[in-house]
Amino acid sequence: MTLRLGDTAPDFEQDSSLGKIRFHEWSRDSWVVLFSHPADFTPVCTTELGLTAKLKPEFDKRNVKALALSVDPAESHQRWIKDIEATQNTVVGFPIIADADQSVAKLYDMIHPEQSTTATVRSVFIIDPQHKVRTILTYPMSTGRNFDEVLRIIDALQLTDGYTVATPGNWKDGDDVIIPLTVQDPEVIKQKYPKGFTAERPYLRLTPQPNK
């Protein structure tokens, strides 16, 4: 199955390091960062899970739940978590899906045969509270993910969901945003963007972030 942006994230029921999870029920009313790992007890994954654990306050502020996945059983995850906590100086409070039968990995197209026929690539799915897939990122097995970028994407998605704006390249929270080309009526512009705007070109109109 190939997922695309805007698709409903497939529901599933699977064991995890914190017990059985039915995904849509578990994630209800929250954003989710679902991210896969090639295997337990691997060095890059250990650092990534440690970073995710340390970001819990940032995820909480954004109403985000983290959910990891590896194609190893729950007992292996629980042993690995001890290593993660010891080496990364943190507490892993989020579940790691035990996808030993690869059913979730196949649902989300996380196994790329040219990379491995058994291990998942480093996929990231950002899923909104309506279970819609909003972002898909795929990293090679050897490259650790940038979790600052994951937070930045969530900030941008939540901002553009709440306001009629788009975000420019390298945007971060607090920077100016873009008035979309779909908004042309001067009266609507005055109402929606009371802080005004600057126009480098008629199609490039920057306005201060509306919720700041």
Question: pLDDT tens-digit profile of 143-156?
Answer: 899 999 999 999 99
Within-domain flag for 108: yes
Contact (CB, 8 A) for 166 and 177: yes
Q: What is the number of other CB atoms lying within 10 angstroms of the CB of residue 155?
A: 17
Outline where DSSP puts E strands in the chain: 13-14, 21-22, 31-37, 64-70, 96-98, 122-127, 133-139, 177-178, 198-201, 204-207
> Among 120, 146, 172, where does a domain finish?
146
Contact (CB, 8 A) for 150 and 124: yes
Range of the domain at 177: 163-207
Which segments of the chain have a pLDDT < 50?
117
Q: What is the pLDDT of residue 122?
A: 79
Q: How far apart are CA 24 and CA 28, in angstroms?
A: 6
Q: Same domain, yes or no, for 200 and 135?
A: no
Q: Same domain, yes or no, for 86 and 51?
A: yes
Q: What is the pLDDT of residue 111?
A: 75
Within-domain flag for 152: no
> Among 96, 119, 146, where does a domain finish?
146
User: Total domain count for the chain?
Assistant: 2
Contact (CB, 8 A) for 211 and 160: no
Q: Which of 21, 45, 133, 150 is catalytic?
A: 45
Within-domain flag for 212: no
Reported pTM:
0.93
Q: How far apart are CA 36 and CA 189, in angstroms?
A: 42
45 is catalytic: yes
Within-domain flag for 85: yes
Q: What is the pLDDT of residue 115?
A: 56
Within-domain flag for 3: no
> Among 103, 118, 146, where does a domain finish?
146
Q: What is the pLDDT of residue 120?
A: 58
